Amino acid sequence: MSTVKQEGIFTVILSLCVNIVLASVKCSVGVIANSHALIADGIHSLTDIAGDIAAIIGIRFAHLPKDDDHPYGHYRFSTLATLFISTLVLSFCIGLAWHSLKNLMLGTATEIPGVAAAWVAGIALIIKETFYHFARR
Protein backbone atom coordinates (compact mmCIF):
# COMPACT_ATOMS: atom_id res chain seq x y z
CA MET A 1 0.00 0.00 0.00
CA SER A 2 1.44 3.36 -0.98
CA THR A 3 2.26 6.00 1.60
CA VAL A 4 -0.15 8.46 -0.04
CA LYS A 5 -2.97 5.92 0.17
CA GLN A 6 -2.12 5.06 3.79
CA GLU A 7 -2.05 8.73 4.81
CA GLY A 8 -5.30 9.39 2.95
CA ILE A 9 -7.11 6.50 4.59
CA PHE A 10 -5.70 7.38 8.04
CA THR A 11 -6.88 10.99 7.69
CA VAL A 12 -10.35 9.95 6.53
CA ILE A 13 -10.72 7.36 9.32
CA LEU A 14 -9.69 9.98 11.87
CA SER A 15 -12.22 12.37 10.30
CA LEU A 16 -14.86 9.63 10.52
CA CYS A 17 -14.20 9.17 14.25
CA VAL A 18 -14.31 12.93 14.90
CA ASN A 19 -17.55 13.27 12.91
CA ILE A 20 -19.22 10.38 14.75
CA VAL A 21 -18.49 12.04 18.10
CA LEU A 22 -19.52 15.50 16.85
CA ALA A 23 -22.75 14.23 15.26
CA SER A 24 -23.72 12.41 18.45
CA VAL A 25 -22.97 15.35 20.73
CA LYS A 26 -24.52 18.00 18.45
CA CYS A 27 -27.75 16.07 17.89
CA SER A 28 -28.10 15.13 21.57
CA VAL A 29 -27.36 18.60 22.95
CA GLY A 30 -29.43 20.16 20.16
CA VAL A 31 -32.48 18.18 21.27
CA ILE A 32 -31.86 18.82 24.98
CA ALA A 33 -31.16 22.55 24.48
CA ASN A 34 -33.96 22.90 21.89
CA SER A 35 -31.58 24.26 19.24
CA HIS A 36 -32.74 23.63 15.68
CA ALA A 37 -29.45 25.04 14.38
CA LEU A 38 -27.37 22.59 16.43
CA ILE A 39 -29.59 19.68 15.35
CA ALA A 40 -29.12 20.75 11.72
CA ASP A 41 -25.37 20.96 12.29
CA GLY A 42 -25.47 17.48 13.83
CA ILE A 43 -27.28 16.17 10.77
CA HIS A 44 -24.66 17.88 8.62
CA SER A 45 -22.04 15.95 10.59
CA LEU A 46 -23.98 12.79 9.71
CA THR A 47 -23.60 13.68 6.02
CA ASP A 48 -19.89 14.15 6.73
CA ILE A 49 -19.84 10.58 8.08
CA ALA A 50 -21.41 9.28 4.87
CA GLY A 51 -18.91 11.37 2.93
CA ASP A 52 -16.01 9.91 4.91
CA ILE A 53 -17.21 6.39 4.13
CA ALA A 54 -17.52 7.29 0.44
CA ALA A 55 -14.03 8.80 0.55
CA ILE A 56 -12.56 5.61 2.04
CA ILE A 57 -14.19 3.56 -0.70
CA GLY A 58 -13.07 6.08 -3.34
CA ILE A 59 -9.46 6.07 -2.12
CA ARG A 60 -9.44 2.30 -1.99
CA PHE A 61 -10.71 1.88 -5.56
CA ALA A 62 -8.78 4.83 -7.01
CA HIS A 63 -5.47 3.18 -6.13
CA LEU A 64 -6.25 -0.14 -7.80
CA PRO A 65 -3.80 -0.99 -10.58
CA LYS A 66 -4.67 -0.78 -14.27
CA ASP A 67 -6.52 -3.73 -15.75
CA ASP A 68 -8.18 -4.71 -19.05
CA ASP A 69 -11.42 -2.89 -18.20
CA HIS A 70 -9.63 0.20 -16.88
CA PRO A 71 -6.50 0.76 -19.00
CA TYR A 72 -5.95 4.23 -17.50
CA GLY A 73 -6.44 3.09 -13.93
CA HIS A 74 -9.26 3.60 -11.46
CA TYR A 75 -8.71 7.27 -10.61
CA ARG A 76 -12.26 8.20 -11.62
CA PHE A 77 -13.59 6.41 -8.57
CA SER A 78 -12.43 9.31 -6.41
CA THR A 79 -14.39 11.66 -8.71
CA LEU A 80 -17.45 9.45 -8.31
CA ALA A 81 -17.05 9.54 -4.51
CA THR A 82 -16.81 13.35 -4.65
CA LEU A 83 -19.99 13.51 -6.75
CA PHE A 84 -21.78 11.32 -4.19
CA ILE A 85 -20.64 13.52 -1.29
CA SER A 86 -21.71 16.69 -3.13
CA THR A 87 -25.13 15.23 -3.92
CA LEU A 88 -25.59 14.19 -0.30
CA VAL A 89 -24.72 17.64 1.07
CA LEU A 90 -26.90 19.36 -1.56
CA SER A 91 -29.85 17.10 -0.64
CA PHE A 92 -29.40 17.95 3.03
CA CYS A 93 -29.29 21.68 2.25
CA ILE A 94 -32.45 21.52 0.15
CA GLY A 95 -34.25 19.59 2.91
CA LEU A 96 -33.11 22.07 5.56
CA ALA A 97 -34.18 25.05 3.44
CA TRP A 98 -37.57 23.43 2.77
CA HIS A 99 -38.15 22.75 6.47
CA SER A 100 -37.05 26.26 7.47
CA LEU A 101 -39.21 27.98 4.84
CA LYS A 102 -42.20 25.86 5.81
CA ASN A 103 -41.82 26.86 9.47
CA LEU A 104 -41.33 30.49 8.48
CA MET A 105 -44.45 30.53 6.30
CA LEU A 106 -46.55 28.77 8.94
CA GLY A 107 -45.28 31.12 11.64
CA THR A 108 -44.16 28.24 13.83
CA ALA A 109 -42.89 29.62 17.12
CA THR A 110 -39.55 28.37 18.37
CA GLU A 111 -38.11 28.55 21.84
CA ILE A 112 -34.79 30.22 22.58
CA PRO A 113 -32.11 27.52 22.75
CA GLY A 114 -30.16 26.90 25.93
CA VAL A 115 -26.62 28.19 26.42
CA ALA A 116 -25.27 24.64 26.16
CA ALA A 117 -25.99 24.77 22.44
CA ALA A 118 -23.67 27.75 22.01
CA TRP A 119 -20.91 26.03 23.97
CA VAL A 120 -21.16 22.84 21.93
CA ALA A 121 -21.21 24.80 18.67
CA GLY A 122 -18.13 26.76 19.73
CA ILE A 123 -16.20 23.68 20.82
CA ALA A 124 -17.20 21.86 17.62
CA LEU A 125 -15.96 24.81 15.59
CA ILE A 126 -12.57 24.67 17.32
CA ILE A 127 -12.34 20.90 16.81
CA LYS A 128 -13.23 21.10 13.11
CA GLU A 129 -10.81 23.99 12.49
CA THR A 130 -8.01 22.10 14.26
CA PHE A 131 -8.75 18.98 12.23
CA TYR A 132 -8.80 21.01 9.01
CA HIS A 133 -5.27 22.28 9.66
CA PHE A 134 -4.13 18.77 10.61
CA ALA A 135 -5.59 17.25 7.42
CA ARG A 136 -4.03 19.91 5.16
CA ARG A 137 -0.48 19.03 6.16
pTM reported for the whole predicted model:
0.77
Q: Which of 13-17, 57-61, 68-72, 130-134 has the lowest mean pLDDT?
A: 68-72
* pLDDT one-digit tens code per residue, 92-124: 889 989 988 998 898 887 788 889 999 999 999
Classify residue 34 as left (phi > 0), alpha (psi -120 to 50) or beta: left
Inter-residue contact 131 to 48 (CB < 8 Å): no
Buried b (16+ CB within 10 A) or exposed e, 106-133: eeeeeeebbeebeebbeebeeeeeebee
Q: How confident is the model at residue 131 (pLDDT cuts 50, 70, 90)?
A: very high
pLDDT tens figures, 44-60: 899 899 889 988 888 78
